[in-house]
Copies of this chain bind each other. A is one copy, B any other.
Amino acid sequence: MRLAVLGVGLIGGSIGMAARARLEAPVAGFDPDPETLRRAVEVGALDEAAGSIAEACAGAEIVFCAAPVSALEALAGDALSVAGEDCVVTDVGSTKREIVAGLGEDERFIGGHPLAGAETSGVENARADLFEGARWYLTPTTYSGGLLYDRLQRALAELGARPQAIDAESHDRVMATVSHLPHVIANVLVSQAASELRDGSERMPDAGPSLRDTTRVAGANPQIWGDIFASNRESVAAAIDETVEQLRRAAELIREGDREAVAEWHRGAGADRRTLLESELGGGPLIQLRVVVPNKPGTVAELALALGRAGVNIEDMALYPAADMRTGAISLWIAGEQQAERALGLVRELGYTASVEPG
């Protein structure tokens, strides 16, 4: 088996490394930026730096297109025009409907989307185990060649990923809700807060931990998100419409002023969050510990170290510095009641005040 990778950033580079290590397949690569291409060879992501798309694709059985979303359709189209008849061409873009609409009638094209690598970028961060255990969506169409699909999904499984077929439309709709919408909402909320504070006669130095958490992803990577929003605009806009509808109902509920009804709605949201996180984590119910701490260097370390030594994993963590920046709280999420109980004991042994948050 011979592979080609077009675009050798974090994802392309990691595909190359994983393929070389696990498939023992020779990997040719091309990148429009010669310096990136040179580095990709240097870090071991490629066997061969090709001088063109055609050169990279020559003799390849699988071609991975790993460019920014806005460039993917053209890139994959170019690859299809030079790839052999028995070559499967796939991509790694975060949205799938647009590219599948454009290329899905070619039996050799199968769209893909690995859920990995969102945390960083660049070939210097590439690694062979990036896809270990990661869901890798594939969006075949009725035109897709069965043998080509089989070859692709086997190769992905050998790279360590968990390939799963999904139609492009469902993919984009679900991603709109669980990934793209939170970014839209964070943007809107942070701008609304900034505007409220600008307009107010008061400076409000304490934005509050809830605003901090809810807006953490606001404004991240404008270019990438401009592309994603543009290529998934229908699903994202539809998800926003749904949020608008839900918010209207929430406003109505709150305006009515029925404390018990509001509390009930609030409890439902808490249950929904636990369901989501638990299905994601799979390590038993997720339990939140609140620890009151001095906000100084070393505190997080001390806590995390004590838990680490005891083999208790921290699934999620959030810091809440108090107004004086000298004290604060840390929330630790631990999977499973037994582990949470151990964690609570360990934290208290260190002399901290800690409690389990009511679920």
Contacts and interface: CB of A to CB of B under 8 A. Distances in A.
A223 to B, nearest CB: 6
B185 A247 contact: yes
Contact of A269 (B182, B219, B244): B219
A226 B262 contact: yes
A123 B109 CA distance: 64
Nearest to A202: B166
Contact of A134 (B182, B221, B260, B324): B324
Contact of A297 (B182, B244, B277, B307): B307
A87 B215 CA distance: 43
Given A196-B178, A207-B280, A119 B191 contact: no
A214 B188 contact: no
A38 interface: no
Interface string A232-274: 0110110111111011101110111111101111111111110
14 contacts: A120-B292, A135-B323, A173-B200, A174-B202, A174-B204, A188-B247, A193-B272, A216-B318, A218-B272, A223-B263, A297-B309, A298-B308, A300-B300, A301-B302
Given A219-B267, A255-B234, A312-B297, A211 B324 contact: no
A266 B191 contact: no
Given A177-B192, A205-B280, A301-B304, A322 B236 contact: no
A299 B308 contact: yes
A179 B261 CA distance: 20
A163 B266 CA distance: 32
Interface in A264-299: 264-273, 275-277, 279-283, 290, 292, 295-299
Given A132-B326, A202-B170, A313-B297, A217 B210 contact: yes
Contacts of A260: 226
Interface residues of A, number: 157
Contact of A226 (B221, B266, B301, B331): B266
Taking chain A's interface residues, is the majority helix, strand, or loop, or is none over half, making it mixed?
Answer: helix
A350 interface: no
B210 A213 contact: no
Interface stretch (A21-29, A50-58, A351-359): A351-359
B263 A202 contact: no
A311 interface: yes
A227 interface: yes
B308 A301 contact: yes
Contacts of A227: 259
A325 B248 CA distance: 37
